[in-house]
Structure 1
Amino acid sequence: MLFQLGQLNATALQAPGVYPQIVPPKNRYINGVPTDIYAQVGIASWGPKNSPMVIGSPSDAQRLYGVQQVRKYDLASAIAIGFQVGAYNQRVVRVTDGTDSAATVNLMDTNATPAIGASVAGIYTGTVGNTITAGITAGTKQSTFKLTVTLPGYAPEVFDNIAGTGATFWQNLVSAVNNGQSGTRGPSQLVVASIGVGTAAPNVVTTYTLASGTDGTTTLTDSVLVGTDGTARTGMYALRGTGAQVLNLVDVTDQTQWTAINTFVLGEGMYYFGQGPAGASYSTVGTSLNTAGVDSYGCKILVGDWEYWQDNVNGQSRMMAPATFAAARCASQGPHLSTLNKPIAGITGTQRVNANQPYSNADIAGVVAARLDLISNPCPGGNYYGAQTGRNSSSNSATNGDNYTRMTNYLGMTLAQSFGWVVGALQTTDLRKTAKGSMDAFLSNLEQAGMIGDVNGGPAFAVQIDANNNPSNRVALGYLQADVQVKYLSVVFDFLINLEGGQSVQINLKQ
C-alpha cells in the first residue's frame, strides 16, 4: 500500500512491513498572474447586468452586447477601441439605470377569439431583443410542432417535435424553451417563456417579432458605472476577484467618484484610467484632482483633451474619452513598461490637435506638475499619438510611474496567489527553504527576461525568510514572514545630451 506524505505517523507503527511514502517535489515554481486583463464598465443593448464577462474577440462583443452605438458610456464602442489598440483579453460589465426592459411578444392560439398560448421575452434586457423573432410551424414528427427563435448574428434555435394538444402543448413549449429538450437541445440562450391561457392549437402562420426592449439609459450618471459594493455588487464592484489589472469606466469624468475608485483599485491590484470632461484644461483637471484628495499610484487621470476615432460601423468620426485609448494601450503591454511615448492605434486627432493648438514644453511641464497625463501628437519618438508623461497621480517621484503601479500590482498579486499552500503547513527549515527558493526562482526569471534589474550591476532582488526576520515569539504565534526587495528598471523620462563642438575641441577617445 502507498501512503501520501503526512498520512502516516512514522513514530507509531505497529505491524512490521514496508511503508512507502510519496513525497511531493520540494521545488515549487511560480508563474506570474496575467497582466493583460482589461476591465471596462459601461452600457449596452444586450447582455447580463453587473456580471463580468470574458470578451476575447469582436464577435464575442457583438454577440453579448450588440453593435456599437453613438452615445455616452457605450461599451461596444469602448470594446472595439480596445481590440484596435491591442487589448485582447477583456472583462466587461454592463450596467443600466434600472429603467431597462426585456423585449416580449405573445404567441397566440387559433381560438375564434385568439388567446395567449405563451409569452416569450428576451433572456436579457435591451433593444437587441427587439430584433428577435419567434414562429411556430409543423414539427418533423407527425402531430407535433416546431418553435424557431432567431436573432441576427446567432444560429437559429429550433425546438422541434413539441407534442401535446390544447393547454398541454403550450406547457410543453414553455418547458422546451426554459429547460431544453432532453437529448436534443438545451434551454434557449435568447428567450425565456411563460405560460398563457390558450387552450387551442398554435398559430402556425404568423412570425412574431419581440418588441418594447429598452437599454436602461434614461437617467444614467457616472455613479451608476462606479456602482455599489456589498452582497449584490454593481458596476465597478462586480469586478472584484476577476484578476483584472487595468480598469476603464467608460466616459466617467465625475471627480467626486475618484476617491471611491482609488480605494477599490488599491485593494484589487488594478490601475484605473480616468479623465476630465471634454475640453477641460490641465489646470482645471489638476484642481479637481487636488479637490478629490487623490494622491495615489492606483490612478492615472488624463486631461480633458478628448480623442477622435473613426467609427466605421456608424460611419462617422466620434470624440472619445482618452482613458479608453490609454488604458487599452497599458493593458496590451508588459507590466514593466511605461505608456510614455508608446504609439496608440486608432486615434485620428484630438481636440487640441484638430484646433492646431500643440502642447508646448511648458504645457507638458504643467501637466506633469498637476500629476496628470495626456495623449497627443507628436511624441518624442515621432509623429504618432501617445501618452506624454507616463505618470500616475502620485506626488511621490519613487511611485509615480506607470511601471511602478503595474509591476507592484503584478508582483503582489503573483505572490499572493502562489503561496496559499504555506498556510496550514508546519513551519520547518525545509518549508522556509522551499518558499524562499520559489521566490528566488521567480524573481530570477524576471531578471533574465529584462523585467527587473539594476543597470549599474547591483542585485535585482533579495528574499529573506530565516530566524533573523522570524523570531521565536512570532513563530510561536503562527507567523511566517518573507521580506522581499525588488529593483525595478528605471524609465527614461529625460535624455540629456551634452554636445561640445568647435574648431578648438580636443577629442579624447576613451576605451
Structure 2
Amino acid sequence: MPIYQLGQINTAALQTPGLYVQVVPPRTRIINGVPTDVYGQVGVASWGPVNSATLVGSPTDAQNFFGVQQVRKYDLATAIAIGLQLGAANQRIVRVTDGTDVAASVALKDTLGTPVTGATLTAIYTGTVGNTLQATITAGTQQNTFKLTILRPNFTPEVFDGISGSGATFWANLVSAVNNGLSGIRGPSQLAVATIGTSITAPNTTNTYTFAGGTDGAGGVTDSTLVGVDGTSTARKGMYALRGTGVQVLNLVDLTDSTQWPNISTFASGEGVYGFTQGPVGASYSTVSTSLNTAGVDDWHMKVLVGDWVYWNDTVNTQNRLLAPATFLAAQCAAQAPHVSTLNKRLGNITGTQRVAQNQPYSGAEIGAIVGARLDVISNPSPGGSYYAGQTGRNSSSDPTRNGDNYTRMTNFLALTLASAFGYVIGQNQTMDLRREAKSAIESFLLTLQQQKMIGDVNGGPAFSVQLNAENNPDARVAAGYMQADVQVKYLSVIFYFLVNLEGGQTVTVQVSSKPR
C-alpha cells in the first residue's frame, strides 16, 4: 500500500489496481502576525560586530556585545539601556565605525632570556573593551599539559585546559584550541583569535598578559555613517544592515542631519519600518519644520521630533545627560502594540527636557503649531497629568487619514503579516478551494484582531471585509496568472480631542434617558 503526499501522483491516470493513500495537508490555514516589537538601532560602541545586526534582549546582552555606556554622541550602549528601561526588549543593534577601529592584541611569550612570541591573541572584535582582556598560561589539570585562561572583567573566564605538546607543537595546539576549541570539552574562544608565532620553547607560566591597542573608531563617525550604504547582504553598512531583520521601529542614534531624512524615509517605506529622528539640540519647531519641508519628506513611515532634547539619569556615569528625544519615543513605540499611539503615554525614565528645565512649558497654541508642522515633541505636563510623554501622536505625513502613529504601525503590521503568510500559493493552480482557503485564513486572522480589540468599528459596523472571487478575479486576469484578494480593515480611532459640553445652572432641566446608549 503506497503512501503519497498530495500532488505526487496523477489520480486521473492510475493503471495498477490497488489502494492509494494521499496525505492531504489541513485545508484550514492559520496566520500568526509578525512581531511588532523588533526595534532597530544604529550607533557606535566599544565592542561587538561592525555593520551586522545583533540581537539584544537584556542588559547582560548589551554589555556582552557592545560594552558599557559612554558619554559621547551616537553611543549604542546608552540607547540600548534606555530602550530596555522602556520595555523594548527585542532589539537589533548595528555598530558602525569610522574605519579606524582596531582590535586589541597581546603576544604570548616563551621562557628564553630574550622572550620569543609563541602565539599572538587578537580580540575577536575591535574596540577599547579589548584592552581590558587578560590571558595567562599555567600548568594544566592533567600532568604534562598547560591551561590557557582568557579573562574579560565581570564575565566568566574562558579556560582551555589540557593543551598538550612541547616546543612548537604546544604553541600550535594552543592556537588550535583558541580558534577551534577542544574536542568534547569546549568550543572556540568568543573573545579572541590566535595566530602562531616562532617560538619552539616552553611557555612562560608566571606572566599575566594584558591586551592593548584596541580603539573604537568612533571619533570620525557622522550622521551619514549611521545611514551607511546599501548593497548585497555582505556589503551593507549602517542602517542598511537591518534589511530583512524584521525591524518595525528604527532609531539612528542622535541623527539630526535633515539631508539624510529622505534616505531613512525610502528605507522605512521599503521595509515596512517606522523611522524616528529629530532636529538638532535646541532647534525650535519652526526650524525643524523648515528642515522637514526642505528635505521633501512627507511620509507616514517617518516621525520627526522637535529639537527639544531630553535629560536622562545615567547611573553608570553618574550624570544627568542630555539625549536625543527619538531614543525615548522610538523605544516606547516599539514596546507597544501596533494599534496603540505614542500620544500621552508616560515615559517614566525622563528627568527633564530643555524647555521644561528653562521653565517654558509648551502652550496649547504651540502644540497646535507642532501638529500643523507634522512633528512630535516630548514634554511635561501631558493631557493625562504631570508626566513626560509624546504630545501629538503624529507621523510626518500631511494626509490627515494617514498621519497617526496607529496608521503607520497597523498598516505595516498587516502588510508584513499578509506578505509572510501566502508565499505557499505561488506555483499552485488557482482553484475554488485555494481561493476559499486563502480568504478564510485572512478573515480568521482579522477576526482575531477584532476580538483582541485591535481593529473595529466602535459604532457597530463591520471591522473588515475580504473579497476573493470571480468579481475581482476575471478570466483574463486568472489566465495571466493573477489571483487577487481585496482586503479592507477599519482601524480603531485614536482620541485626539475629547469635547465635553457642560450646561449648568439652577434653571437647567435635566433629562435622563432610560434607553441604553
TM, length-normalised to structure 1: 0.99
Paired residue for 2:181?
A: 180
User: 339-348 vs 156-165, which deviates more?
Assistant: 156-165
Paired residue for 2:471?
A: 468
CA–CA distance in structure 2, aligned partners of residues 160 and 406 of structure 1: 52
1:294 partnered with 2:297: yes
Paired residue for 1:40?
A: 41
DSSP 3-state at the match of 2:351: strand
| Residue-by-residue CA offset, 1:403-436 (whole Å, 9 max, x unaligned) | 0000000000000000111111110000000000
CA–CA distance in structure 2, aligned partners of residues 16 and 88 of structure 1: 60
| Residue-by-residue CA offset, 1:157-204 (whole Å, 9 max, x unaligned) | 111121222222111111111111111111100000111111211111
Paired residue for 2:216?
A: 215
How many pairs were matched up? 511
Paired residue for 1:435?
A: 438
Once the two structures are superposed, the pairs formed by residues 362-401 of structure 1 within 5 Å of their partners are: 362-401=365-404
CA–CA distance in structure 2, aligned partners of residues 220 and 12 of structure 1: 68
DSSP 3-state at the match of 1:300: strand
* Unaligned 5+ runs, structure 2: none
DSSP 3-state at the match of 1:149: strand
Q: Which amino acid letter does the alignment assign opposite residue 277 of structure 2?
A: G
DSSP 3-state at the match of 2:113: coil
CA–CA distance in structure 2, aligned partners of residues 145 and 5 of structure 1: 60
Paired residue for 2:350?
A: 347
Paired residue for 1:262?
A: 265
DSSP 3-state at the match of 2:291: helix
CA–CA distance in structure 1, aligned partners of residues 66 and 406 of structure 2: 32
Once the two structures are superposed, the pairs formed by residues 31-430 of structure 1 within 5 Å of their partners are: 31-231=32-232, 232-430=235-433
DSSP 3-state at the match of 2:118: strand
Paired residue for 1:452?
A: 455
DSSP 3-state at the match of 2:206: coil
Paired residue for 2:31?
A: 30
Q: Which amino acid letter does the alignment assign opposite residue 98 of structure 1?
A: G
Q: Give the C-alpha shift of residue 347 in structure 1.
A: 0.1
Contact preservation (8 Å) 1:49, 1:95: yes
Deviation beyond 4 Å, 4+ runs, structure 1: none
Q: Give the C-alpha shift of residue 92 in structure 1.
A: 0.8
When the two chains are superposed, the root-mean-square deviation of aligned CA atoms in Å is 0.9
CA–CA distance in structure 2, aligned partners of residues 477 and 153 of structure 1: 63
Contact preservation (8 Å) 2:45, 2:218: no
Q: Give the C-alpha shift of residue 143 in structure 1.
A: 2.0
Contact preservation (8 Å) 1:63, 1:153: no
CA–CA distance in structure 2, aligned partners of residues 183 and 501 of structure 1: 83
CA–CA distance in structure 1, aligned partners of residues 169 and 460 of structure 2: 81
CA–CA distance in structure 2, aligned partners of residues 261 and 423 of structure 1: 32
CA–CA distance in structure 2, aligned partners of residues 209 and 9 of structure 1: 70
User: 409-418 vs 103-112, which deviates more?
Assistant: 103-112
User: 435-444 vs 4-13, which deviates more?
Assistant: 4-13
Paired residue for 1:7?
A: 8
Q: Which amino acid letter does the alignment assign opposite residue 264 of structure 1?
A: F
Q: Which amino acid letter does the alignment assign opposite residue 314 of structure 2?
A: D
Q: Give the C-alpha shift of residue 500 in structure 1.
A: 1.4
Q: Give the C-alpha shift of residue 89 in structure 1.
A: 1.1
| Residue-by-residue CA offset, 1:244-269 (whole Å, 9 max, x unaligned) | 10001110001000000000010111
CA–CA distance in structure 1, aligned partners of residues 157 and 390 of structure 2: 45
Paired residue for 1:21?
A: 22
Q: Give the C-alpha shift of residue 141 in structure 1.
A: 2.1
DSSP 3-state at the match of 2:218: coil
Q: Give the C-alpha shift of residue 336 in structure 1.
A: 0.5
* Unaligned 5+ runs, structure 1: none
Q: Give the C-alpha shift of residue 154 in structure 1.
A: 2.0
Q: Which amino acid letter does the alignment assign opposite residue 292 of structure 1?
A: A
| Residue-by-residue CA offset, 1:214-271 (whole Å, 9 max, x unaligned) | 1111211011111110020011100011111000111000100000000001011110
User: 216-225 vs 392-401, which deviates more?
Assistant: 216-225
DSSP 3-state at the match of 1:484: strand
